[in-house]
A and B are shown apart, each in its own frame.
Chain A
Amino acid sequence: MSLRTPLARALGLGSAKEGTEHFIAQRISAIASVILGCWFLYAMLTIESMAYLEVTRFIAAPLNSVLLSLLCVTIAYHSYLGVQVVIEDYVHAHGLKLASLIASRFAHVFLAIVSVYAVLRIGLTV
């Protein structure tokens, strides 16, 4: 016997009702990633050298600080959405799947915050 009714159990296994938002968020963040990613690779080609002084000067330039922060947040978000689908596809054990999804979310938020913090620190101290 369970405290839960059959209806509650059936509903609990049903649709999450948010697939469309995920689909759209993945596309929008993809478009943003194309723009920011191409800018970043172009910037890596035009930077004078990868030495400490040139790199910190590059990161500290106001527009670069803003674009780098946007890049890190956008790509971390797009990556989170993609890794979520990969986990849902391959990890079938319910508990492990939930744990992986939560760990992935923590890791992605951490990476985004750490990157933006580093950019701001360079931008505000150099």
Chain B
Amino acid sequence: MSDSGRPLSPHLSVYRWPITMTLSILHRVTGVGLSVGLVVLAAWLVQAAAGPEQYQYFRATMATPIGQLLLIGWTFAFFLHMGNGIRHLVWDTGSGFEIRHANASAWAVMIFSALLTAAFWVVKL
């Protein structure tokens, strides 16, 4: 921050926290998280190609509580990034920019990704 003593324009703390901002931040965070997930996807394939012992080692690692938590996180990240990505594709057509529409679609993406993540793991486990 500037230490010149000059006045600063109002910053993040003076605004009410809008749901659209949450989604914008989450879109980027989940995107970066999914990029990290690419490494695990590649590791899964490589360990499967390396043979049964190697694969068993990978499987055991992902079966730990931390591994399971990460996998649940990545499915949530996928659904949220996908849902919000579709929201962005709709915006690209020029529609959905009304504030109440943007707020509604933001909540819809949140609920959609939470429900799909829950449904996925209920079926999987």
Interface residues of A (CB under 8 A from B): 27, 30-31, 33-34, 37-38, 41, 44-45, 50-52, 55-56, 59, 68, 72, 75-76, 79, 82-83, 86, 108, 111, 114-115, 117-119, 121-122
Contacts and interface: CB of A to CB of B under 8 A. Distances in A.
Contacts of A114: 42, 45-46
A27 B85 CA distance: 9
A75 B37 CA distance: 11
Interface residues of B, number: 27
B120 interface: yes
Contacts of B66: none
B78 A55 contact: no
A90 B117 CA distance: 30
Q: Is the interface of B mostly helix, strand, loop or mixed?
A: helix
A41 B42 contact: no
Contact of A41 (B34, B49, B85, B120): B120
Interface of B: 28, 31-32, 34-35, 38-39, 41-42, 45-46, 48-49, 52, 55-56, 59, 75, 78, 82, 85-86, 89, 92, 120, 123-124
A34 B124 contact: no
A79 B120 contact: no
B85 A34 contact: yes
26 contacts: A34-B82, A34-B85, A34-B86, A38-B82, A41-B78, A44-B124, A45-B123, A52-B55, A52-B56, A52-B59, A68-B45, A76-B38, A79-B31, A79-B38, A83-B31, A83-B32, A83-B35, A108-B38, A111-B38, A111-B39, A114-B42, A118-B45, A118-B49, A119-B45, A119-B49, A122-B48
